[in-house]
């Protein structure tokens, strides 16, 4: 699977939050702006992977925010979504 620069940026950003390297307050401040900035390029890099992002990570973000999950619950939700998004990735084959 082809992973481009914009997709890698989002993976690293979300991973930093999940791993506790980024506070939820700052994650919330940056998340929407980063999606607006990077998602169109993610679609160009790999449209299927971008679609999966929308149906896993972005959906989990919206759900977790709407439900008012605690920071720990929200990290777990985002971790599950990231795993689901990336879990079916397979390397490019010649």
Are 42 and 10 a contacting pair, CB within 8 Å?
A: yes
- How far is the C-alpha of 68 from the C-alpha of 81, rounded, in Å? 17
Q: Where are the domains of the chain?
A: 5-86
14-58 pLDDT, tens digit each? 999 999 999 999 999 999 999 999 999 999 999 999 999 999 999
Main-chain phi, psi angles of 46, to 5 degrees: -160, 100
Q: How far is CA 4 from CA 38, 43, 46, 62, 64, in A?
A: 11, 10, 8, 24, 27
59-94 pLDDT, tens digit each? 999 999 999 999 999 999 999 999 999 986 544 433
CA atoms in the 13 A half-sphere facing the CB of 79: 11
């Amino acid at each position: 699977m082809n992973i481009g620069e914009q997709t890698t940026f989002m993976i690293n950003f979300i991973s930093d939050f999940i791993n506790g390297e980024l506070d939820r307050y700052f994650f919330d401040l940056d998340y929407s702006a980063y999606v607006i900035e990077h998602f169109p390029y993610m679609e160009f890099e790999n449209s299927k992977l971008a679609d999966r992002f929308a149906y896993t990570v972005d959906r989990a973000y919206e759900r977790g925010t709407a439900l008012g999950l605690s920071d720990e619950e929200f990290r777990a939700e985002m971790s599950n979504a990231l795993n689901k998004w990336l879990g079916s990735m397979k390397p490019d084959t010649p």
